[in-house]
Amino acid sequence: MNAAAPSTRAETPIAFIQAMVKAYLRRNMDPAAALEKAQIAPNLLHQTDARVTALQMEWMSEAAMRELDDEALGWFRRRLPWGSYGMLVRASLTAPNLGVALTRWCRHHNLLTDDIRLALSTSNGQAHIELHEAHDLKDLREFCTVSVLRNALGVACWLTDSRIPLSATDLQFAPPRHADSYRVLFDGPVRFEAPHSQLSFDAGYLQLPIRRDEAALQRMLQRALLLTVRPYRRDRLLVEKVRQTLAEHPDRSRNAEDLAAWLNLSARTLHRQLKEEGASLQELKDAVRRDLAMDLLLRTGRPIKQIAAEVGFQNEKSFMRAFKGWTGASPETIRKNS
Protein backbone atom coordinates (compact mmCIF):
# COMPACT_ATOMS: atom_id res chain seq x y z
CA MET A 1 0.00 0.00 0.00
CA ASN A 2 1.18 3.54 -0.68
CA ALA A 3 2.65 5.05 2.45
CA ALA A 4 1.04 8.47 2.24
CA ALA A 5 -2.72 8.88 2.35
CA PRO A 6 -4.17 10.97 -0.47
CA SER A 7 -4.67 14.56 0.66
CA THR A 8 -5.90 16.30 -2.49
CA ARG A 9 -9.56 17.09 -3.04
CA ALA A 10 -11.69 14.13 -4.18
CA GLU A 11 -13.30 15.19 -7.47
CA THR A 12 -12.84 12.22 -9.84
CA PRO A 13 -16.09 10.23 -10.28
CA ILE A 14 -16.14 6.72 -8.83
CA ALA A 15 -17.61 5.68 -12.21
CA PHE A 16 -14.09 5.68 -13.68
CA ILE A 17 -12.87 3.32 -10.95
CA GLN A 18 -15.93 1.14 -11.54
CA ALA A 19 -15.02 0.98 -15.24
CA MET A 20 -11.55 -0.30 -14.37
CA VAL A 21 -13.05 -2.91 -12.10
CA LYS A 22 -15.25 -4.08 -15.01
CA ALA A 23 -12.09 -4.56 -17.09
CA TYR A 24 -10.72 -6.86 -14.39
CA LEU A 25 -13.94 -8.86 -14.13
CA ARG A 26 -14.21 -9.33 -17.90
CA ARG A 27 -10.81 -11.01 -17.80
CA ASN A 28 -11.65 -13.03 -14.70
CA MET A 29 -9.09 -11.12 -12.64
CA ASP A 30 -9.35 -9.73 -9.11
CA PRO A 31 -9.03 -5.92 -8.73
CA ALA A 32 -8.53 -6.12 -4.95
CA ALA A 33 -4.77 -5.48 -5.01
CA ALA A 34 -5.13 -2.46 -7.29
CA LEU A 35 -7.89 -1.00 -5.12
CA GLU A 36 -5.69 -1.47 -2.06
CA LYS A 37 -2.73 0.27 -3.73
CA ALA A 38 -5.01 3.18 -4.57
CA GLN A 39 -6.43 3.22 -1.03
CA ILE A 40 -9.97 2.85 -2.32
CA ALA A 41 -12.29 0.97 0.01
CA PRO A 42 -14.31 -1.69 -1.90
CA ASN A 43 -17.60 -0.45 -0.44
CA LEU A 44 -16.98 2.90 -2.17
CA LEU A 45 -17.68 1.17 -5.49
CA HIS A 46 -21.36 0.90 -4.54
CA GLN A 47 -21.75 4.60 -3.78
CA THR A 48 -22.78 6.11 -7.11
CA ASP A 49 -21.99 9.68 -6.08
CA ALA A 50 -18.60 8.89 -4.53
CA ARG A 51 -15.42 10.64 -5.65
CA VAL A 52 -11.71 9.82 -5.45
CA THR A 53 -8.67 12.09 -5.64
CA ALA A 54 -6.48 12.61 -8.69
CA LEU A 55 -3.69 10.76 -6.87
CA GLN A 56 -5.93 7.76 -6.18
CA MET A 57 -6.96 7.77 -9.85
CA GLU A 58 -3.29 7.77 -10.83
CA TRP A 59 -2.46 4.91 -8.46
CA MET A 60 -5.42 2.79 -9.58
CA SER A 61 -4.81 3.41 -13.29
CA GLU A 62 -1.14 2.48 -13.09
CA ALA A 63 -1.81 -0.69 -11.12
CA ALA A 64 -4.59 -1.74 -13.49
CA MET A 65 -2.58 -1.01 -16.63
CA ARG A 66 0.31 -3.10 -15.36
CA GLU A 67 -1.77 -6.03 -14.06
CA LEU A 68 -4.00 -6.14 -17.15
CA ASP A 69 -1.06 -5.28 -19.44
CA ASP A 70 -3.48 -2.94 -21.16
CA GLU A 71 -3.01 0.82 -21.24
CA ALA A 72 -6.51 1.05 -22.73
CA LEU A 73 -7.97 -0.51 -19.56
CA GLY A 74 -10.41 -2.70 -21.46
CA TRP A 75 -11.90 -0.04 -23.77
CA PHE A 76 -10.86 -1.77 -26.98
CA ARG A 77 -11.24 -5.25 -28.39
CA ARG A 78 -7.46 -5.55 -28.57
CA ARG A 79 -5.18 -4.76 -25.65
CA LEU A 80 -2.70 -1.89 -25.83
CA PRO A 81 0.30 -3.42 -24.00
CA TRP A 82 2.27 -1.44 -21.44
CA GLY A 83 4.36 1.16 -23.27
CA SER A 84 1.96 1.75 -26.16
CA TYR A 85 1.21 5.38 -25.31
CA GLY A 86 4.87 6.09 -24.63
CA MET A 87 5.61 4.83 -28.12
CA LEU A 88 3.05 7.30 -29.54
CA VAL A 89 4.73 10.20 -27.78
CA ARG A 90 8.19 9.12 -28.93
CA ALA A 91 6.99 9.14 -32.54
CA SER A 92 5.97 12.79 -32.12
CA LEU A 93 9.16 14.09 -30.47
CA THR A 94 10.89 15.02 -33.71
CA ALA A 95 7.97 17.02 -35.10
CA PRO A 96 8.75 20.69 -35.85
CA ASN A 97 5.60 21.94 -34.12
CA LEU A 98 2.53 20.78 -32.22
CA GLY A 99 0.33 20.54 -35.30
CA VAL A 100 2.61 17.97 -36.91
CA ALA A 101 3.09 16.17 -33.58
CA LEU A 102 -0.65 15.78 -32.97
CA THR A 103 -1.26 14.65 -36.54
CA ARG A 104 1.36 11.93 -36.03
CA TRP A 105 -0.08 11.02 -32.62
CA CYS A 106 -3.58 10.58 -34.03
CA ARG A 107 -2.36 8.64 -37.07
CA HIS A 108 -0.29 6.24 -34.98
CA HIS A 109 -3.09 5.80 -32.43
CA ASN A 110 -5.34 4.72 -35.31
CA LEU A 111 -2.79 1.98 -36.11
CA LEU A 112 -3.11 0.58 -32.57
CA THR A 113 -6.89 0.11 -32.61
CA ASP A 114 -9.72 0.36 -35.10
CA ASP A 115 -12.37 0.76 -32.38
CA ILE A 116 -12.03 4.55 -32.49
CA ARG A 117 -10.57 6.98 -35.00
CA LEU A 118 -8.71 10.12 -33.96
CA ALA A 119 -8.08 13.12 -36.18
CA LEU A 120 -6.77 16.68 -35.93
CA SER A 121 -8.72 19.34 -37.80
CA THR A 122 -8.98 23.14 -37.86
CA SER A 123 -11.83 25.56 -38.58
CA ASN A 124 -12.48 29.24 -37.87
CA GLY A 125 -9.23 29.68 -35.95
CA GLN A 126 -9.89 26.64 -33.75
CA ALA A 127 -8.06 23.31 -33.61
CA HIS A 128 -10.06 20.15 -32.88
CA ILE A 129 -8.90 16.77 -31.62
CA GLU A 130 -11.74 14.57 -32.86
CA LEU A 131 -12.72 11.13 -31.57
CA HIS A 132 -15.05 9.03 -33.71
CA GLU A 133 -16.36 5.63 -32.58
CA ALA A 134 -16.12 2.85 -35.14
CA HIS A 135 -18.63 0.84 -33.13
CA ASP A 136 -20.65 1.28 -29.94
CA LEU A 137 -18.32 1.28 -26.92
CA LYS A 138 -21.37 0.80 -24.67
CA ASP A 139 -20.72 1.10 -20.95
CA LEU A 140 -17.04 1.95 -21.50
CA ARG A 141 -17.79 4.87 -23.85
CA GLU A 142 -17.52 7.61 -21.25
CA PHE A 143 -14.34 6.36 -19.58
CA CYS A 144 -12.65 5.70 -22.93
CA THR A 145 -13.61 9.07 -24.41
CA VAL A 146 -12.58 11.10 -21.37
CA SER A 147 -9.30 9.19 -20.96
CA VAL A 148 -8.22 9.34 -24.61
CA LEU A 149 -9.07 13.03 -25.02
CA ARG A 150 -7.42 14.02 -21.74
CA ASN A 151 -4.36 11.98 -22.68
CA ALA A 152 -4.13 13.70 -26.08
CA LEU A 153 -4.42 17.11 -24.42
CA GLY A 154 -1.87 16.17 -21.76
CA VAL A 155 0.60 15.03 -24.41
CA ALA A 156 0.09 18.27 -26.35
CA CYS A 157 0.71 20.34 -23.22
CA TRP A 158 3.79 18.33 -22.28
CA LEU A 159 5.34 18.41 -25.76
CA THR A 160 5.09 22.22 -25.90
CA ASP A 161 5.58 22.81 -22.14
CA SER A 162 2.41 24.88 -22.31
CA ARG A 163 -1.01 24.88 -20.67
CA ILE A 164 -3.51 24.73 -23.53
CA PRO A 165 -6.89 26.06 -22.37
CA LEU A 166 -9.92 24.52 -24.04
CA SER A 167 -12.50 26.69 -25.75
CA ALA A 168 -15.02 23.82 -25.84
CA THR A 169 -15.44 20.10 -25.22
CA ASP A 170 -18.03 18.12 -27.18
CA LEU A 171 -19.03 14.66 -25.97
CA GLN A 172 -21.13 12.15 -27.85
CA PHE A 173 -22.79 10.63 -24.79
CA ALA A 174 -25.62 11.95 -22.61
CA PRO A 175 -24.85 13.82 -19.36
CA PRO A 176 -23.94 11.23 -16.68
CA ARG A 177 -25.05 11.41 -13.03
CA HIS A 178 -21.71 13.03 -12.19
CA ALA A 179 -21.90 15.66 -14.96
CA ASP A 180 -20.88 18.33 -12.43
CA SER A 181 -17.39 16.72 -12.38
CA TYR A 182 -16.79 17.82 -15.96
CA ARG A 183 -16.02 21.35 -14.81
CA VAL A 184 -12.87 19.79 -13.33
CA LEU A 185 -12.16 17.28 -16.10
CA PHE A 186 -12.27 19.87 -18.90
CA ASP A 187 -12.03 23.65 -18.73
CA GLY A 188 -14.35 25.73 -20.90
CA PRO A 189 -17.93 24.81 -21.83
CA VAL A 190 -18.87 21.13 -22.13
CA ARG A 191 -21.60 20.00 -24.52
CA PHE A 192 -23.11 16.52 -24.25
CA GLU A 193 -24.95 14.47 -26.91
CA ALA A 194 -22.78 15.91 -29.68
CA PRO A 195 -22.48 14.23 -33.12
CA HIS A 196 -18.96 13.13 -32.13
CA SER A 197 -16.54 13.85 -29.30
CA GLN A 198 -13.80 16.45 -29.64
CA LEU A 199 -11.65 19.00 -27.82
CA SER A 200 -11.35 22.52 -29.27
CA PHE A 201 -8.66 25.12 -28.60
CA ASP A 202 -6.98 28.12 -30.21
CA ALA A 203 -5.29 26.94 -33.41
CA GLY A 204 -2.35 29.22 -32.61
CA TYR A 205 -1.04 26.51 -30.28
CA LEU A 206 -0.42 24.25 -33.28
CA GLN A 207 2.49 26.48 -34.27
CA LEU A 208 4.29 26.12 -30.92
CA PRO A 209 7.62 24.29 -31.23
CA ILE A 210 8.24 20.94 -29.56
CA ARG A 211 10.33 21.56 -26.44
CA ARG A 212 11.02 17.97 -25.35
CA ASP A 213 13.67 15.37 -26.18
CA GLU A 214 14.34 11.71 -25.44
CA ALA A 215 15.83 12.44 -22.01
CA ALA A 216 12.73 14.44 -21.05
CA LEU A 217 10.53 11.61 -22.34
CA GLN A 218 12.32 9.08 -20.13
CA ARG A 219 11.70 11.28 -17.08
CA MET A 220 8.08 11.86 -18.01
CA LEU A 221 7.36 8.16 -18.50
CA GLN A 222 8.16 7.52 -14.86
CA ARG A 223 4.85 9.22 -14.05
CA ALA A 224 3.18 9.52 -17.43
CA LEU A 225 -0.32 9.33 -15.98
CA LEU A 226 0.10 12.84 -14.60
CA LEU A 227 -0.53 14.01 -18.17
CA THR A 228 -4.03 12.59 -17.98
CA VAL A 229 -5.09 13.09 -14.37
CA ARG A 230 -3.77 16.59 -13.64
CA PRO A 231 -3.99 19.86 -15.58
CA TYR A 232 -0.83 21.42 -16.99
CA ARG A 233 0.10 24.72 -15.34
CA ARG A 234 2.09 26.81 -17.82
CA ASP A 235 0.84 28.51 -20.97
CA ARG A 236 3.32 29.64 -23.61
CA LEU A 237 0.91 31.01 -26.19
CA LEU A 238 0.66 34.41 -24.49
CA VAL A 239 4.46 34.60 -24.35
CA GLU A 240 4.61 33.93 -28.09
CA LYS A 241 1.88 36.50 -28.78
CA VAL A 242 3.66 39.14 -26.69
CA ARG A 243 6.99 38.38 -28.36
CA GLN A 244 5.40 38.65 -31.81
CA THR A 245 3.64 41.92 -30.97
CA LEU A 246 6.82 43.46 -29.58
CA ALA A 247 8.68 42.54 -32.75
CA GLU A 248 6.04 43.39 -35.34
CA HIS A 249 4.13 46.25 -33.71
CA PRO A 250 6.57 48.28 -31.60
CA ASP A 251 4.19 51.24 -31.76
CA ARG A 252 1.59 49.14 -29.94
CA SER A 253 3.96 48.09 -27.17
CA ARG A 254 5.56 51.26 -25.83
CA ASN A 255 4.23 50.40 -22.38
CA ALA A 256 2.27 47.62 -20.66
CA GLU A 257 -1.05 49.44 -21.01
CA ASP A 258 -0.73 49.83 -24.80
CA LEU A 259 0.43 46.25 -25.25
CA ALA A 260 -2.32 44.85 -23.03
CA ALA A 261 -4.98 46.81 -24.92
CA TRP A 262 -3.65 45.46 -28.24
CA LEU A 263 -3.98 41.92 -26.81
CA ASN A 264 -7.45 42.63 -25.35
CA LEU A 265 -6.21 42.28 -21.78
CA SER A 266 -5.80 44.57 -18.82
CA ALA A 267 -2.23 45.49 -17.89
CA ARG A 268 -2.70 43.71 -14.56
CA THR A 269 -3.88 40.51 -16.27
CA LEU A 270 -1.01 40.69 -18.74
CA HIS A 271 1.61 40.87 -15.95
CA ARG A 272 -0.12 38.14 -13.92
CA GLN A 273 -0.43 35.67 -16.81
CA LEU A 274 3.15 36.25 -17.92
CA LYS A 275 4.29 35.59 -14.36
CA GLU A 276 2.27 32.35 -14.32
CA GLU A 277 4.05 31.35 -17.53
CA GLY A 278 7.46 31.99 -15.98
CA ALA A 279 8.17 35.17 -17.94
CA SER A 280 8.09 38.94 -17.48
CA LEU A 281 7.35 41.75 -19.90
CA GLN A 282 10.81 43.25 -19.39
CA GLU A 283 12.50 39.93 -20.16
CA LEU A 284 10.50 39.57 -23.37
CA LYS A 285 11.27 43.17 -24.38
CA ASP A 286 14.97 42.55 -23.81
CA ALA A 287 14.86 39.31 -25.82
CA VAL A 288 13.17 40.99 -28.78
CA ARG A 289 15.56 43.95 -28.66
CA ARG A 290 18.56 41.62 -28.46
CA ASP A 291 17.38 39.54 -31.43
CA LEU A 292 16.74 42.64 -33.53
CA ALA A 293 20.08 44.18 -32.56
CA MET A 294 21.95 40.99 -33.45
CA ASP A 295 20.18 40.76 -36.79
CA LEU A 296 20.98 44.37 -37.72
CA LEU A 297 24.53 44.06 -36.43
CA LEU A 298 25.36 40.93 -38.42
CA ARG A 299 23.22 41.47 -41.51
CA THR A 300 23.84 45.17 -42.17
CA GLY A 301 26.68 47.64 -41.96
CA ARG A 302 24.66 50.27 -40.15
CA PRO A 303 26.48 52.36 -37.51
CA ILE A 304 26.02 51.29 -33.88
CA LYS A 305 24.28 54.58 -33.11
CA GLN A 306 21.65 53.94 -35.78
CA ILE A 307 21.10 50.37 -34.58
CA ALA A 308 20.66 51.63 -31.02
CA ALA A 309 17.95 54.03 -32.14
CA GLU A 310 16.16 51.41 -34.24
CA VAL A 311 16.16 48.95 -31.35
CA GLY A 312 14.57 51.57 -29.13
CA PHE A 313 17.39 53.12 -27.09
CA GLN A 314 17.64 56.88 -26.61
CA ASN A 315 21.42 56.90 -26.84
CA GLU A 316 24.29 54.71 -27.93
CA LYS A 317 25.82 54.45 -24.47
CA SER A 318 22.74 52.85 -22.86
CA PHE A 319 22.46 50.46 -25.82
CA MET A 320 26.11 49.41 -25.48
CA ARG A 321 25.61 48.73 -21.77
CA ALA A 322 22.45 46.69 -22.37
CA PHE A 323 23.97 44.75 -25.27
CA LYS A 324 26.96 43.71 -23.19
CA GLY A 325 24.58 42.56 -20.47
CA TRP A 326 22.66 40.44 -22.99
CA THR A 327 25.62 38.87 -24.78
CA GLY A 328 28.69 39.40 -22.60
CA ALA A 329 30.43 41.25 -25.44
CA SER A 330 30.31 44.65 -27.11
CA PRO A 331 28.52 45.19 -30.46
CA GLU A 332 31.86 45.91 -32.13
CA THR A 333 33.33 42.63 -30.89
CA ILE A 334 30.33 40.62 -32.10
CA ARG A 335 30.48 42.27 -35.52
CA LYS A 336 34.23 41.84 -35.80
CA ASN A 337 34.14 38.15 -34.92
CA SER A 338 31.18 37.28 -37.13
Render pLDDT for 225-277 as a digit per residue (tens, 0 to 9).
777 766 666 666 788 888 888 888 877 777 899 898 888 888 898 898 888 77
Contact 172, 141 (CB under 8 A): yes
Q: Which residue from 218, 238, 330 is spatially nearest to 284, judged by alpha carbons?
A: 238
Q: How far apart are CA 8 and CA 168, in angstroms?
A: 26
Residue 11, Cβ neighbours under 10 Å: how many?
16
Note the pLDDT of residue 325.
87
Model-wide pTM > 0.75 = no
pLDDT score, position 229: 67
pLDDT of 231: 67
Residue 5's pLDDT is: 43
Distance CA 74, CA 26 (A): 8
SS3 163: coil
Q: Which residues pair with 51 in a beta bridge?
A: 13
Note the pLDDT of residue 291. 86
Low pLDDT (below 70) residues in the chain = 1-8, 229-236
